A and B are shown apart, each in its own frame.
Chain A
Amino acid sequence: MSQKDQSISTVELIDEQTTFTLVELCRSCSVEAEIIEAMVEQGILEPSGRHGRHWCFPSSSLRRTRVTLHLQRDLGVNLAGAALALDLLERIEDLNARVRAMGGKR
């Protein structure tokens, strides 16, 4: 079944200055607050501000949360393993960026 709709959407750029509250992050990733708290505990997410309502998550948290959830669901990785994988993935991305900047192929 296919149906088309065309609409110009108003878009909002999420850059380094964008932050998320706990509620927004939970909603965006369809998870309970306890799961986010566990990720903070594990150092996967590093919000600023006081615990709970006052937490302020950097924009990268959205991607980190989603990748963690995917790794847990798809590969059976636990939180500590996901934290390690995220750190390594980030390092690979940095290295790839450097290789690209030097003109090599990935």
Chain B
Amino acid sequence: MEYKDYYEIMGVKRDATQDEIKRAYRKLARKYHPDVSKESDAEARFKEVGEAYEVLKDPEKRAAYEQLGAQWQAGQDFRPPPDWDTGFEFSGGGYTGGNADHSAFFEELFGRGFAQQGATGGRRSFHMHGEDHHARVLIDLEDSFSGATRSISLRVPEVTEDGHVTTRDRTLNVSIPKGIRPGQQIRLAGQGAPGLGGAESGDLFLEVEFRDHSLYRVDGADIYLDLPVAPWEAALGASIKVPTPSGPVDLKIPADSNQGRKLRLSGRGLSGKTPGDMYVVLQVSLPPADSDVARQLYEQMQDQLGFNPRAAMEVA
């Protein structure tokens, strides 16, 4: 079991006042709240901060934690000394009910009273119908395009018969509906928490997010692709082979196109009831003037075209 330095996690000194700890917690909670933060490890950080605060905000728990001594380093292998908590009287809620989100370190120190107290999960109101569960799942653009079966691992907290809370790993094979868009949810009927007294199980809701793609960007049902083109392809027009998620297509670039021009491939976005479109955005790429021939051609253009890209700026 790894020792956790709760002070380090909260970014406060060991002699911080309760007020300082509270302020530090509020700031970090806002920063790492999984519904607000876009940082990839937000959820883990949020839980870690919550656990640290649970210990440090409670003078009894904080004193007991303090008792372990300051010689420990975060991540160090840790066993609590025998009777480490003698001399501490935990009033009522001193020990904390099992929570699947707490680290093993926390459970070892503060989680032991749970079995004797029995299940304390009384915060939620009693429902006969099993609770619905919610989770997020990352898929690839291609999964939405062709439909796919993805195996999804979930950690599910469960209350065992003797009142302990454990987590169970569950793997589900889920077929991703064709045309699903980022932010949409899918419902898996009956895959939530089991119902009580023979009632129906709850549902499992999965919110779908897309992994970043090396070529395409997704906006709603539309797909965007940046397409590099040579200046003469943009100027004179061309027929170019362009990748799309459903296979390459021949795209006609109209003559006199310019940098940033958007060409629409109707209906080639994400499928679904109302299929999206695909937009090819032209990125004019200049050949380097690194040879005599190239320099000559550029000089020729300079001399003969009389082109002023800043004509609108009215600075002669």
Give A contacts to B, CB under 8 Å: 1-15, 17, 27-30, 32, 59, 62-63, 66-67, 70-71, 74-75, 85, 89, 97-98, 100-101, 103, 106
A103 nearest in chain B by CB position: B226
Contact A100 B173 (CB under 8 A): no
Among A27, A98, A106, the residue within 8 A (CB) of B202 is A27
Contact B202 A8 (CB under 8 A): no
Cα A106 to Cα B39 in complex, Å, equals 11
Contact A59 B174 (CB under 8 A): no
Contact B166 A27 (CB under 8 A): no
Interface size class of B (residues with CB under 8 A): 35 or more
Among B38, B170, B187, B204, the residue within 8 A (CB) of A4 is B170
Q: A11-B187, A30-B127, A70-B33 are in contact. List 19 more A-B contacts (CB 8 A).
A: A3-B170, A4-B170, A4-B171, A5-B171, A6-B172, A7-B172, A8-B174, A9-B173, A9-B188, A12-B186, A14-B186, A15-B184, A28-B203, A30-B132, A59-B185, A62-B185, A66-B134, A71-B33, A74-B29
Which residues of chain A are near B187, meaning CB under 8 Å? Answer: 11-12, 14
Cα A12 to Cα B46 in complex, Å, equals 31
Q: Is B241 an interface residue (CB 8 A)?
A: no
Contact B281 A75 (CB under 8 A): no
Contact A67 B168 (CB under 8 A): no
Which residues of chain B are near A3, meaning CB under 8 Å? Answer: 168-170
Tell me the B17-49 residues at the A interface (CB within 8 Å).
26, 29-30, 33-36, 38, 46
Contact A11 B188 (CB under 8 A): yes
